[in-house]
A and B are shown apart, each in its own frame.
Chain A
Amino acid sequence: MKKPKLEAAGGELLTPMQLLSRAAVTAGPGIVWIALFLILPMLILLGYSFLTRDELGNAVFPLTVDNYVRFAGWDVLGYDAAYLIIVGRTILVSLVTTLFCVLIAYPLAFFIAAHEPKTRDRLMIFVILPSWVNLVIRTYAWMIMFNPSSPITQLAATLGMVGPNEGLYPSDFAVYLGMINVFLPFIVLPLYSAVERIDWSQLEAAQDLYATKTQAFIQVLVPQTLPGLTAGIILTAIPALGMFVVPDLLGGAKVALIGNSIAQQFGASRDYPFGAAISFLVMGLTLLVLWLYARRVGEKGMRDLL
């Protein structure tokens, strides 16, 4: 007698067919949606990046790798590393932003963890709250603060940091501040959940075993925060690579980042294939980092990201 191999799920024993149909009814619509509007667009993005732009700005055949070659700097007019410079600048901005966010987030996370559990929750809400405020609003606020007539700018002018009647924006500085402001909550959140989970008795154990306070902190506490830190870095560094609003409003033409370059190709320049090529590079990098991260922490660990 041959029995079908059953599978236990939620107090039920299902044959493979039953299981598949249950999965299709529940997860099916979501999977179809993701396939249609998340995966398919990525493939189209990849496809577009190999097309050519005609005189009217339409994407047409033949297939070509020119867009990637152009991105790397070889244009009909000769070598120009403009886009590589933008990439370099974007990566720099992303890394510096992440670094400063980590530097601010660490004391903040420990500060919050030093409170009673109830207060901790409240403080965390206060950290997250600004991230719910619309990005455009939070960004243009810096335009108000950094315009030539604002007290902050005038103070900077007195110190000789900017010339008279010049604003603190558009500038690198404004972009950095705007970016750090936007991403700080994203790094505090996972870092704090790691700090909250710290087994503080290990600190005492380390000190009991003759470690100094600093040694104990570095060798016992910091390693325990690493999972949260990694999640926070991913949540900051990757989206920062594609940030569009902040450099657009605070950076001006001088401080164009990848995000602006992409927007430009789909706006004024109307060069979709080239824009698709740049987007796909960012997308590829995102997927690569996400994949490496998933491989390291496993599927459960990825929940740190949300």
Chain B
Amino acid sequence: MFWLFFLPVMALLFAAWHFGLRRNQVRKASLGLSLTSYLAFGFLYAPILVVAVMSFNNSRFRLEWVGFTTKWYAKIFGDESVTGGLEGAQLLAATQNTLVLAIISTAIATVIGSLLGYGLHRYRFPGSQLTAWLMYIPVVTPDIVMAISLLLLYQVLRNVAPFFEPGMPAMVIAHVTFQIAFVAIVVRSRLATLDPALEEAARDLYASPLETVRQVVLPLALPGVMAGALLAFTLSIDDFVISFFTSGPDSQTLPILIYASVKRGITPDINALSTIIVLLTMVGVFLSQILQRNQK
């Protein structure tokens, strides 16, 4: 099964070709500027490349290069003859948890966040300025502070409802909280680029308020809604700290699993797992970029 892994590799190669950096397009960057920038790119990508390379290392424990192997990928895709590292069941559960968490939280956050973005764009009401400002708190607040404050909230609420035990529901609520802010900001900036006369034109052409939203506002806001949803999804998949502090024993996500394994000692199958995640993330980002471009 492990060869399935090469699908994203090919997709990535295609994307690299599609976005190919042709050197002759450099217009006026001086040599020094270019060199610094190439070094900066190298620095940005070094950790990712190292993980990818080490995922092919034929060694069970040691971190130095021993030889080439693809067995760690085979193991992740279910080859039980490979020993060492993570348990298959654990991996499967973590993958499931990550996706369930991301999908549910993104769905909730996209609906609530888009509505919030529209409401703030459209109506001036008492507190609208304050809300617009509050939305930036999750953008800059350190993850750990948000995580801790939610942890304490759950502890207080647990006296009222067992729903707030550490676990999936608590994690979904935590993720939705920061996702809403991002979705609302993205949707609102998209709406701000639209000519306000478009809604007036629809009303002028006999559309009711509801029809105006359905026929004009929604289709035009859709790229923003999609971009917001994608951002929310990626943020959820990416999140470690907030999940870590709100998860229960049965709701470990992939980042938590990786963190726990790294704490015990890095094993090559973690590298393989990480590489797959990295590739899928990158393919997702590229696809969204291509989608966005085609939308224009």
Residues of A at under 8 Å CB distance from B? 7, 9-12, 19-20, 22-23, 25-31, 33-34, 37-42, 44-45, 48, 104, 107-108, 110-112, 114-116, 118-119, 122-123, 125-130, 132-145, 147, 149-150, 180-181, 184-185, 234-235, 238-239, 241-245, 249, 259, 262-263, 266, 272, 275-276, 279, 282-283, 286-287, 289-290, 294, 299, 302-303, 305-306
A303 to B113, CA, bound (A): 16
Min CB distance B276 to A, Å, is 11
Contact of A244 among B120, B144, B266 (CB under 8 A): B144
Contact of A286 among B19, B47, B137, B176 (CB under 8 A): B137
Count: A-B pairs, CB below 8 Å:
306
- Of B153, B155, B202, the most chain A CB neighbours within 10 A belong to B153
A111 to B120, CA, bound (A): 37
Contact of B115 among A29, A38, A128, A181 (CB under 8 A): A29
A207 to B128, CA, bound (A): 46
A287 to B141, CA, bound (A): 8
22 A–B contacts from the bound complex (CB under 8 Å): A11-B203, A26-B118, A27-B115, A33-B112, A37-B173, A37-B177, A38-B138, A44-B149, A125-B286, A132-B234, A132-B284, A134-B278, A134-B281, A145-B47, A145-B50, A149-B62, A181-B46, A184-B40, A242-B145, A244-B142, A259-B144, A303-B189
Q: Are A243 and B277 in contact, CB atoms less than 8 angstroms apart?
A: no
Q: Are B63 and A135 in contact, CB atoms less than 8 angstroms apart?
A: no
Min CB distance B103 to A, Å, is 17
A279 to B145, CA, bound (A): 6
Contacts of B138 in A (CB 8 A): 38
Contacts of B44 in A (CB 8 A): 127, 130, 181, 184-185
Q: Which of B1-9, B67-75, B82-90, B237-245 contacts A (4 or more CB under 8 A)?
A: B237-245
Interface positions, chain B 3-35, Cβ under 8 Å from A, are 19, 21-22, 25-29, 32-34
A140 to B54, CA, bound (A): 12
Contacts of B182 in A (CB 8 A): 306
Q: Are B51 and A137 in contact, CB atoms less than 8 angstroms apart?
A: yes
Contacts of A138 in B (CB 8 A): 47-48
Contact A9 to B122, CB < 8 A, known contacts A44-B149, A181-B47, A276-B152 = yes
Contact of B202 among A11, A111, A141 (CB under 8 A): A11
Contact of A136 among B41, B173, B258 (CB under 8 A): B258
Min CB distance B269 to A, Å, is 13
What 13 new A-B contacts, CB under 8 Å, besides A134-B278, A137-B48, A238-B142? A11-B203, A23-B125, A27-B118, A30-B115, A111-B34, A116-B25, A126-B19, A133-B48, A134-B281, A141-B47, A243-B142, A303-B185, A305-B136
Contacts of A45 in B (CB 8 A): 145, 148-149, 152
A241 to B141, CA, bound (A): 9
Q: Are A40 and B285 in contact, CB atoms less than 8 angstroms apart?
A: no
Contacts of A143 in B (CB 8 A): 262, 266
Contacts of B204 in A (CB 8 A): 11
Q: Are B148 and A279 in contact, CB atoms less than 8 angstroms apart?
A: yes
Q: Are B119 and A26 in contact, CB atoms less than 8 angstroms apart?
A: yes
A21 to B119, CA, bound (A): 11
A306 to B186, CA, bound (A): 8
Q: Are A286 and B115 in contact, CB atoms less than 8 angstroms apart?
A: no
For the complex, is B101 an interface residue (Cβ under 8 Å from A)? no
